[in-house]
Amino acid sequence: MAQRETWTSRIGFIFAAVGSAVGLGNIWSFPFQTAANGGAAFLVVYLLAVFLIGFPTMMIEFVIGRRGEQNPVAAFEKIGYGNWSFTGGLGVFSSLVTLSFYSVVGGWVLSYIVGSATGAYFGDPGTYFGSVASGPTAIAAHAVFMAITIGIVASGVTDGIERATKVMIPAILVLLVGMAAWATTLSGASAGYEYYLSPDFGVIADNFASIVPPAMGQAFFTLSLGFSVMIAYSSYLGRDDSLPADGGAIVVVNTLVALLAGFVIFPIFFATGGAEGAGSGGAGTAFVALAGAFGSLPAGQIIGFVFFAVLLFAALSSSISLLEVPVSYVTESYGYSRGTTAVVMGLAIALLGVPATFGTSWLGFYNDLVFNIFLPIAVLLFAVFAGWVANREAVDELGRGSSVGESFTTAWLWWIRIVVPIAVIVTLYLGVESLYTGLTSGAYF
Ligand code: TRP
């Protein structure tokens, strides 16, 4: 087998992993989920989910990845549990399905960059959304977004992914900080911060069952967990890198980007009419609400352009990792060339995504299928594997190359044995229930 291409440095790995994590989830879904679920109340639950459940789960994928030193399917064999390979495969499969609709939304973002430049959505944001979110425009934009993704992945780990994310991540951070600073000058800024940052614990208590599943789903999705991506990426890590330190850095930067997006969006909403309605009603409302807000701001055209450019960078830095995982699996297992594999798989994924260009209900169905079912199941399987099946020697991978002691590993082990599975099972139960209700009530089709 050919020598595996690898990160040129530990920083290269961190950039790529942050690139995977920072995506539409941070800048598009996070603020809108927050708006839809009570503002600061959701924020609190989300942050708890990220640090208490998401971070330990990321450590599971890192342990499997670095211990396995292989693609996510072969990794389980290498650790000595070949009959668990299917869990890695489930993650790879989820990546395919997710990319198919993620790219459709990426296409919308492209259309909104064009729309900001020409001012096309300023007059009637609702109609503009309708015209770009389904039909021929949506298909064309989806195709362009996939083509860019394929191009970067075909160029390889170092020349493609590492180079692209090293430019995009700093650009995202700088532009978001700039926009957040500008947003402080808006007249609605303080009301926006109030809604975003002052939690009403009564709201949390009253809406616990409806806040927890989206907060947990969002925590997994935003950290790219359950997709075997972190297994694949950490398989390239050196023995002397600290998994908890690298994972901590990734989680913190990813959270920072989401929080910054909130600092941009909430002042804008409150300056232009409030957050009510912005979060409800699914995928499209976010675009319509934002475009409407940009349309009524003095410098809206420029702000809109920059905002959607940031969103595009974030989407691309994630879509390349969604394609990289299946591509590296196929190239390593079957020996096809990277270029051909990227093109063939990219085309297949693009086709799978076509129904999501018919209308937002299909897109919502794909999204909920991944969010509510695939993702929690994969995370649960990873936790059961690492917590109850793998031997202690494999699990001790967590502390290798790091200064954390044996007791840290033991504490983590019990946490992923008990707490993580309970949290995921509750989320899965509520998620299946809501998908079932959606299907039987005709909410999707
Ligand atoms: N984390 C990405 C976001 O927030 C989306 C995502 C989920 C992802 N799983 C992934 C990206 C796997 C790459 C790989 O938008």
| Centre of ligand 1 from the C-alpha of residue 132, in Å | 23
Provide the whole-model pTM.
0.92
Instruction: Read off the tokens for 1.
Output: 């087998």
Q: What is the pLDDT of residue 238?
A: 84
Residue 253 lies in a domain: yes
Backbone angles phi, psi at 282, to 5 degrees: 85, -160
**Is residue 20 lining ligand 1, measured as CB closer than 6 Å?**
yes
- Number of domain units in the chain: 1
Residue 3 lies in a domain: no
Do 387 and 421 touch, CB atoms closer than 8 A? yes
- Please state, in angstroms and rounded to a whole number, the distance separating the CA atoms of residues 99 and 319: 6
* Predicted confidence (pLDDT) per residue in 112-155, tens digit: 999 999 999 988 888 999 999 989 999 999 999 999 999 999 98
Instruction: Read off the tokens for 297.
Output: 């701001």
296 contacts: CB under 8 Å, gap ≥ 6: 272
Backbone angles phi, psi at 2, to 5 degrees: -65, 150
The overall longest dimension of the chain from CA atoms, in Å, is: 63
| Centre of ligand 1 from the C-alpha of residue 322, in Å | 7
Q: What is the pLDDT of residue 50?
A: 97
| Centre of ligand 1 from the C-alpha of residue 122, in Å | 30
Q: Which atom of ligand 1 is closest in space to residue 221's alpha carbon?
A: 7
Q: What is the pLDDT of residue 393?
A: 93
- Return the CA Rg of the chain: 21
Could you identify the residue written with the tokens 């912005």? 278
DSSP 399: G
Burial per residue of 302-340, b for 16 or more beta-carbon CB atoms within 10 angstroms, e otherwise: ebbbbbbbbbbbbbbbbbbbbbbbbbbbbbbeeeeebee
Q: What is the pLDDT of residue 113?
A: 96
* Predicted confidence (pLDDT) per residue in 409-439, tens digit: 999 999 999 999 999 999 999 889 888 988 9
What are the average pLDDT values for consecutive 10-residue runs of the chain, which has 445 residues?
A: 64 87 93 86 94 98 94 93 95 94 96 94 90 93 97 85 85 92 90 91 82 88 94 88 95 96 90 59 73 84 92 94 90 91 97 91 87 92 97 94 92 98 93 89 82
Residue 66 lies in a domain: yes
Q: What is the pLDDT of residue 2?
A: 45
Do 136 and 382 touch, CB atoms closer than 8 A? no
Could you identify the residue written with the tokens 């994590």? 21
CATH of the domain at 253: 1.20.1740
Residue 4 lies in a domain: no
Residue 5 lies in a domain: no
Could you identify the residue written with the tokens 């992945």? 153
| Three-state helix/strand/coil letters over 215-256 | HHHHHHHHCCCCCCHHHHHHCCCCCCCCHHHHHHHHHHHHHH
* Predicted confidence (pLDDT) per residue in 323-369, tens digit: 988 998 898 889 999 999 999 999 999 999 999 998 778 888 888 89
**Which amino acid type is present at position 229?**
V
| Centre of ligand 1 from the C-alpha of residue 94, in Å | 11
- Please state, in angstroms and rounded to a whole number, the distance separating the CA atoms of residues 187 and 156: 47
Question: Among 50, 96, 227, which residue has the most ligand 1 atoms within 8 Å of its CB, making it the best to mutate?
Answer: 227
Residue 445 lies in a domain: no
Q: What is the pLDDT of residue 368?
A: 87
Residue 418 vs residues 56, 84, 319, 422: alpha-carbon distances, Å = 12, 20, 33, 6
Residue ranges in 119-200 assigned as alpha helix (H): 125-133, 136-154, 163-183, 189-197
Q: Which atom of ligand 1 is closest in space to residue 375's alpha carbon?
A: 9
- Please state, in angstroms and rounded to a whole number, the distance separating the CA atoms of residues 28 and 393: 41
- Please state, in angstroms and rounded to a whole number, the distance separating the CA atoms of residues 103 and 33: 20
- Please state, in angstroms and rounded to a whole number, the distance separating the CA atoms of residues 412 and 398: 9
3 contacts: CB under 8 Å, gap ≥ 6: none
55 contacts: CB under 8 Å, gap ≥ 6: 223, 247, 248, 251
Residue 212 lies in a domain: yes
Domain span holding position 266: 10-440
Residue 2 lies in a domain: no
**Is residue 326 lining ligand 1, measured as CB closer than 6 Å?**
no
Q: What is the pLDDT of residue 337?
A: 93
- Please state, in angstroms and rounded to a whole number, the distance separating the CA atoms of residues 86 and 125: 44
